[in-house]
Amino acid sequence: MATVSYSQNIMDDEYEKFIRRMNPPRVVIDNESCKNATIIQVDSANKHGILLEVVQVLTDLNLVITKAYISSDGGWFMDVFNVTNQEGNKITDEGMLDYIMKSLGPDSCFASSMRRSVGVTAGMDHTSIELIGSDRPGLLSEVSAVLTNLKCNVVNAEVWTHNTRAAAIMQVTDEVHGGAITDPERLSTMKQLLCNVLRGSNKLRDAKTIVSDGVSHTERRLHQLMFADRDYERTTGEGLDDKERPNVNVINWQDKDYSVVTIKCKDRPKLLFDTICTLTDMQYVVFHGNVDAEGPQAHQEYCIRHVDGSPVKSDAERQRVIQCLEAAIERRVSEGLKLELCTTDRVGLLSDVTRIFRENSLTVTRAEVTTRAGKALNIFYVRDSSGYPVDAKIIESVRQTIGQTILRVKGNIEELNPVPQESPTRFLFGGLFKSRSFCNFGLVRSYS
């Protein structure tokens, strides 16, 4: 069976290459027709997942997609995007325009775009760790402490929390030689200790640790991890406030044999990627779509069918699509005050910083950790762990401890609104543990 499947995959891949050679993709970049955006049109032979691959290329370049028109009926795919840079201006940089043409044009292969993506780094120089488990106060500090004790340096990481669950993808290197960790015994120990930490005292939900040197797209993989973990199953009182929750609806268009998905929510970066990623991973095909995100609110409408050709068949399936899209939108919501850390990278840096946050009763709702040319460039979104607005005095105390030139505040503390005092959904770096050091790993041993 394995041989047959492998041979079939080779045949499918060769057929796709043949179709591509016969119908090479065409990319048109227009900076004249629209006064406030660059228009990018992509025409190509159609295949499942092609829309996500195009959106992923644009999103990985940190481009803002303000409008999109999607059509993929039959064997041909046509998409039109209005895009700007982060400052809201047209794309005029010749290097970026050339990259877009090469990434999406006839000389490209969408399948390889994953390897070129900004969010992806080759696995040969680091070890990739995927984590999924129950969220709780101090979780990342414990994870970071385990890795520091194992002589590992966290060079890149992205951490999401949603609906009492936490997922992370961390790229680590060996403290001594700076490369990937290859010793099987050491990797086995790492997996065991991290699984123990992730499992904690919650015996009702699974915890998983996957260690590899493979290549994956970080953000898509986080969606897949949380989707597989069923974080979309909301219980009473969990998730965003009703006023903040996205408005997602699914109805069947009987005359056309489509299901129509409509989404209305507050706009934010990478929103389109998150919704298309979820529909694709749920095995739905977008045949037509219209996206408008020029204002503070984003409106998305898609005509979809399952890959088997059928629209949504039951109310249970409809509710699942709604729940999964709501979860995809909420996972990346940046609650809290944004803090940016920039300093020379070193082993244990992440562990030390998160410990300081925890000791000052700060909860981090999301984190992005990157290392470039020996510099750590980290972003944290923090709230007070008690649910009250962040105290400016606490922030200044934290900045004095870490270094005021190292840790900078982005945004206005006074603009933060209080959240429910006993909200169960945002615990990742909670402030309940006051120990000055995790060197003895008492908390880790308690779950072993």
pLDDT reading at 385 higher than 70: yes
pLDDT at 228: 93
Structure pTM? 0.82
Max CA-CA distance within the chain?
Answer: 66
Q: Is residue 270 within 8 Å of residue 332, measured between CB atoms?
A: yes
105 and 88 within one domain: yes
pLDDT of residue 85: 94
Number of domains in the chain: 3
Q: Are 104 and 27 in contact (CB under 8 A)?
A: yes
* 140 and 225 in a common domain: yes
Note whether residue 14 is domain-resident: yes
- Closest among 225, 147, 154, 155 to 189, alpha carbons compared: 147
326 and 342 in a single domain? The answer is no
Task: Indicate whether 51 belongs to any domain.
Answer: yes
Cα–Cα distance, 245 to 314 (Å, whole number): 23
- Summarize the confidence of residues 285-294 as an average pLDDT: 95
Say what the pLDDT of residue 256 is: 84
Q: Which residue has the tokens 């194992």?
A: 150
- Domain containing 291: what range? 247-331
Residue 418 resides in a domain = no
Which of 50, 84, 116 lies at the terminal end of a domain, its last residue? 116
Tens digits of per-residue pLDDT, 165-220?
A: 899 999 999 998 888 998 899 999 999 999 999 887 666 567 888 887 666 799 99
Supply the CATH number for residue 325's domain.
3.30.70.260
pLDDT 10s digits, 225-281: 999 999 999 765 455 556 678 999 999 988 888 999 999 999 999 999 999 999 999
Q: What are the CA-CA distances from residue 117 to residues 16, 54, 217, 274 (Å)?
A: 21, 11, 8, 16
